[in-house]
Amino acid sequence: MIVVLAFVVAAAVVGLVGPRMARVADRLGEATGMGGALFGAVFLALATDLPELALTTSAGITGSPKIAVGGLLGSAAAQLMFIAAVDMSLRDGQLYRDVSLHTTLGQCALMTGVLTVPVLFAAADPTFGWVSIGTVVLPAVYVGGLLAIRGIGPDTTEAPTPETDVPPGGEDTCEPTAPLWRQFGGFALILAAAGVVLEQTTESIGADIGLGETAAGALLAGVATSLPELVTAMAAARAGALELAVGNIVGSSALDVALLSLADAFYTEGSILDLLGPPEFTLIGVAMALTVLLLGGLARREPVGLPRVGPESYLMLGVYLTGVLLLVSAGG
């Protein structure tokens, strides 16, 4: 009971602190001139991914690589499924119609790119010491994808946004940043500590209920550490910042996959990619399918579901639940 209570408290801390930290990061990033989609994919993704980063580091050091891999891939899949949850919560067809097509396509390309790296290197993965070539290529693909997205302009079909219009006096740009940075750092430490607690309790809970390490990492730690993305995306979408919501989700998912390199660096007994098996490939397949469905919704652009929810959202929910059943069967 103590272990379960610690897990629940850590998950609650992630869910409460994550959105607050994201709002502080949003205010700090206003001066960068980045659009909502790119800002969500970089700043918010990094801010809300701190629990995953802490969990990955802790799992690698303590010799639990399956928990790290399951947590990262499970978090990526869960976050992509959250897009369906956001669409269903809006019920007005805005999500697929109003989100920037070009920028989100670039983010989906980044997501697909990082997902293919572990698949390509799983069969034959040369290593330098204990670090594999694949985990060197993975962050390079991630950074290169971010740089490519930065060069994507706005959709030609969209009207110019008034975001560049600064009111006389520029009050918004004069907010002191030092207090915000202190808040940001404090929230970062809290989220990192929560991630360590989640890692240490996940293995114990998973063993007690009969889940393998990958399944436990994906369904317990992965979902718990994704709570900041869910709460932040819901709040941003209801405030009309759909690009920020989707950019945060897809950007965080891509960052989760890229963090496999960090897990490999801390796991000194071999290559993380050599440990990939049916449970891990199930998670990768689910994430790829969810990315494809998001692309389909963006290409169609018109809601035809009931009540005004894209059919892709229903399919995304079905794919994720099917993946959970397959994951438990393969690694439970």
Positions of the chain with pLDDT under 50 = 36, 156-174, 332
Q: What is the pLDDT of residue 175?
A: 56
Question: What residues contact 292, with CB distance under 8 A and at least 6 apart?
Answer: none
pLDDT digits (tens, 9 = 90+) for 225-274: 777 778 777 877 777 778 778 888 898 899 889 989 888 888 878 788 88
Question: Distance (Å, rounded) from C-alpha 138 to C-alpha 113?
Answer: 9
Nearest to 245 by CA among 12, 89, 70: 89
CATH architecture assignment, domain 2-155+180-331: Up-down Bundle (1.20)
Is pTM beyond 0.75 here?
Answer: yes
Other beta carbons within 10 Å of 166: 10
DSSP code string of 43-56: IIHHHHTHHHHHHH
Question: Distance (Å, rounded) from C-alpha 47 to C-alpha 194?
Answer: 14
Nearest to 329 by CA among 224, 222, 215: 215
3-state secondary structure of 211: coil
Q: What is the pLDDT of residue 66?
A: 85
- With beta carbons less than 8 A apart as the criterion, state whether 232 and 248 touch: yes
Q: What is the pLDDT of residue 284?
A: 94
pLDDT digits (tens, 9 = 90+) for 168-199: 444 444 456 677 778 877 887 787 777 677 76
- With beta carbons less than 8 A apart as the criterion, state whether 199 and 71 touch: yes
Q: Show the tokens assigned to 231.
A: 């709460």
Q: So where are the chain's domains?
A: 2-155+180-331
Nearest to 313 by CA among 54, 83, 150, 62: 83
- With beta carbons less than 8 A apart as the criterion, state whether 289 and 148 touch: no
Phi, psi of 131 (to 5 degrees): -95, 130
Question: What residues contact 70, with CB distance under 8 A and at least 6 apart?
Answer: 213, 214, 215, 216, 217, 218, 221, 222, 279, 280, 283, 331
Question: What residues contact 12, with CB distance under 8 A and at least 6 apart?
Answer: none
